Amino acid sequence: MAGTLYVVATPLGNLQDLTLRAADVLRRVDVVAAEDTRHTRPLLSHLGAAPQMLSFHAHSDERRVAGLLEILQAGRSVALVSDAGTPAISDPGFELVAAARAAGIEVVPIPGPSAVATALSAAGLPADRYLFLGFLPRKGTERARLLGRAAAEEWSVVFFEAPSRVRALLDDLAESAGPGRRVTVARELTKLHEEIVSGTLADIAGYYTGSEPRGEFTVVLEGTGQPAAAPDRSAEAEELARRLLAEGRTRREVAQQLAAELGLPRNAAYRLVTGLP
């Protein structure tokens, strides 16, 4: 009979945040798959737990996933943990969970600390809906695209960022969303030097210009409060329509495909197609 894969949330910093259920699981499992065994070992020692430890991180290859599946299929239990918070949330883990599910192995989440939920709870910004973008690319078109998405987002947006790049993130957000947009920056959540500051992007960017950023950062950006404007796809729709007509499709067929592929209202798609020479 196959073992169980437990996905265990661990403290962001304060060990007292570990749930009783998580502590019990970590004491009972046969194997702990840890993002960094050096980081997780003190937690297990604190609990008096002595399972076998294996590393499982962002650079682990398919052989490590296969090895953990073999352990589970042999009837042994495995706890997946990241360095802090809930595994697979901008942390390694989803590949192992997906592989376990595909193999018919039971996956049991053990909920607990999450930097996303913790920061949102103290941000003073709407959190009934939110967008989580995690760590943005350091540069390039994908960073620009995500910054634009965040600036136009109706709801609060949550980022993770490294201390050396948090000022650049705040500056870029101020440029894309405007310096007056509100933001909350949470640093070292639950740890000794926890700090949560709120204000405009201009204010908080200035604060970290005069204060050397240290620790782990979670940034919550205020949303616009309004639905983002739908992108103008008229040029794309006209190009597609002309191509389909050149292939010999009827105008009715082309209008139907425009509506299906581009999400255009049927009447709008039909008007566009009939208006083409």
SS3 252: helix
Between CA 40 and CA 10 the distance in angstroms is 9
Angle value at C-alpha 54, between 77 and 74, nearest 5 degrees = 35
If we measure between CA atoms, which residue out of 133, 126, 179 comes closest to residue 158? Answer: 133
Query: What DSSP element (H or E) covers 133?
Result: strand 130-134
Say if strands 130-134 and 156-161 run parallel, antiparallel, or are unpaired. parallel
Cβ within 8 Å of residue 206, ≥6 positions away = none
Asked if 40 and 62 count as a contact pair (C-beta separation under 8 A), the reply is no
If we measure between CA atoms, which residue out of 195, 121, 194 comes closest to residue 158? Answer: 121
Q: What is the pLDDT of residue 230?
A: 66
Q: What is the pLDDT of residue 180?
A: 97
Cβ within 8 Å of residue 191, ≥6 positions away = 12, 13, 14, 215
Sign of CA dihedral 25, 28, 30, 34: positive
Answering whether pTM is above 0.75, one says yes
CATH of the domain spanning 116-221: 3.30.950.10
Fold match between domain 4-113 and domain 116-221: no
**C-beta pairs of 203-206 under 8 Å, 24+ apart in sequence:** 204/170, 205/167, 205/170, 205/171, 205/174, 205/179
Between CA 128 and CA 136 the distance in angstroms is 23
What secondary structure letter does DSSP report for 85?
A: B
CA 177 from chain center: how many Å?
A: 20
Q: pLDDT by residue for the chain (277 residues), tens digit each?
A: 789 999 999 999 999 999 999 999 999 999 999 999 999 999 999 999 999 999 999 888 889 999 999 999 999 999 999 999 999 998 889 999 999 999 999 999 999 999 999 999 999 999 999 999 999 999 999 999 999 999 999 999 999 999 999 999 999 999 999 999 999 999 999 999 999 999 999 999 999 887 788 999 999 999 999 987 666 778 888 999 999 999 999 999 999 998 888 888 888 888 999 988 8
Cβ within 8 Å of residue 48, ≥6 positions away = 27
Domain boundaries, given as residue ranges, for the chain: 4-113, 116-221, 234-274
Q: What is the pLDDT of residue 258?
A: 87
In one-letter notation, the amino acid at residue 182 is R
CA 264 from chain center: how many Å?
A: 30
Angle value at C-alpha 251, between 249 and 255, nearest 5 degrees = 105
Q: What is the pLDDT of residue 149?
A: 94
Q: Radius of gyration of the chain from Cα atoms?
A: 24
CATH of the domain spanning 4-113: 3.40.1010.10
